[in-house]
Amino acid sequence: MVSPAKLAHVVLRTGDLQTMIDWYVAVLDARVVHANEQLAFLTYDDEHHRVALVNAGATERPTSAHSGLEHVAFTYADLGDLLDNYQRLKAAGTTPVWSVNHGPTTSLYYADPDGNKVELQIDNFDTDEQMEAFFASGAFAANPIGVEFDPDELHARLKAGEPRSELIKQTGSPATVSQRR
């Protein structure tokens, strides 16, 4: 068998194309590669498009009762980038609906204007061996959801010079899926 080399892009249907373009450009610090009345291609790197938006006239928001895509995730290079982006978005009025350290990742979940969930995250482990050791330790099996955190507090601790190794530790009570808004 041959696996794909990468995940190329995600395509979302919408009934409000310009609002969705504006949101994804702001949240991902993306640029529009192509747009017309029917569709838009957005990217934030050298790929021709990472997010495509199709003006399908869709108006019904996804709910937990619908089957389909739960969320799409985008990984940042480091904790500083993730939290600086959080501060940038917060200053513009866009805040996460859920902030959780899953163990393998530190994640901020957002809802786009159509109600689709977008996870902005970092990997908490630098190597595959560290990740495998975490899973083998039983910590993930004991708490597969993770623990919620305050991104403002985490950002302040980072800016104060606290080591990344301390910042990515799971501390606090286990989160539940029902806590997710």
Q: How is the chain split into domains, by residue range? A: 7-58, 70-181
Say what the pTM is. 0.94
Predicted confidence (pLDDT) per residue in 2-54, tens digit: 989 999 999 999 999 999 999 999 999 999 999 999 999 999 999 999 999 99
Helices (H), 15-170: 17-28, 79-91, 128-136, 139-142, 151-159, 164-167
**What are the tokens at 119?**
């996870």
The CATH code that applies to domain 70-181 is 3.30.720.110
Chain segment 69-123, per-residue pLDDT in tens: 999 999 999 999 999 999 999 999 999 999 999 999 999 999 999 999 999 999 9
CATH of domain 7-58: 3.10.180.10
